[in-house]
Structure 1
């Protein structure tokens, strides 16, 4: 028997769907800015083993020579990103939702079990609850990454006016490197998140849109009492 069960409140769904396109636009505009000073690579000296974004990648996405556009978009959507994040944090604490999101002493062991199960290396399913240990750690990490992106972004946006913040983060170059690493972290989180959503199926995806999921409940059993013990039908 199919039954609708409420899963995600409206506020959580709104914060989720506002943050997703805003963050994607932040990453895109950041790429337009990064093109102007593409310095990060894996290698040593003059030897380069790997560049994060080759010229063919930039040309395929029409990225070159759009620095001013990237900066304008980045600084506009930065405020939407910050406002949405502040409202989400306020809602999480005021509603008590943080109790389900923050990792506890069992989360890291459970996260390892979830990872092994998802990779098909462990047959026993982890405990079913609103957020498992892996989700608690991932969502809390993304929240801290958002704070880190804001601080490092401000440090490289206003290195003179916010010199104390820039120096606290190790200087301009260090703050820029941290900002870049956090962006790569967002991309990896998106990839894993989308794969997990696809793996969980349509029912899970629908719950983040409509707020409910369809669950199977046992059908009510018919009465098995003997005919003599059943009440006689009333007559009119």
Structure 2
């Protein structure tokens, strides 16, 4: 449980604003460059008030990372609990991953770029959380392979590819860009499911060959038509001669 979940509503709201301000500051100028004074000003607080909620910049970094870990884990659990077919679950995971990254971009920038600066206990928790997250998606991939819905590829490599594609958004995504998070997720899903090769269109030679074959079949059917009309009459005469 995150720390602000145990606080009274007003204090929880203030701490939430502090953590958001810290994530933005860390994401913009880096953890080492950001100052508590700048974070307090961004949150609309004095530095003295800020110290009533956190004791150090290191603690703030831990709170930022803790927030994003909790958010990602809760969302993934909800998706997996829906018990959809594996292919549908993976589509939901890609959309969730992309849309959450876009919504919490400052948090994710900090999570991926400042992990080495975490205190040992939080670093261990982050490592454990990432492993559990990967393993959860890996189980979905295995289920899909066993059900015949997915190709028989190494599940761990599939997960690394899927998450790597999504997580790299923190390097290039901009909220004022041309594509919405949903559109980006659709492209990623299409790339994962169908690859990047275009489906080959029939060549002109192939089309002409099929047309010639159709014409030949039509001529054969026309030639056989009289024989088909005579066959019932012959069968009737044969039957009458046998009954005499």
Q: TM-score, normalised by structure 2?
A: 0.28
Higher helix share: 2
- Name the structure, 1 or 2, with higher relative contact order (CA <8 Å, separation 6+): 1
Q: TM-score, normalised by structure 1?
A: 0.28
Higher strand share: 1
When Rg is computed on C-alpha atoms for both structures, the one with the higher figure is 2
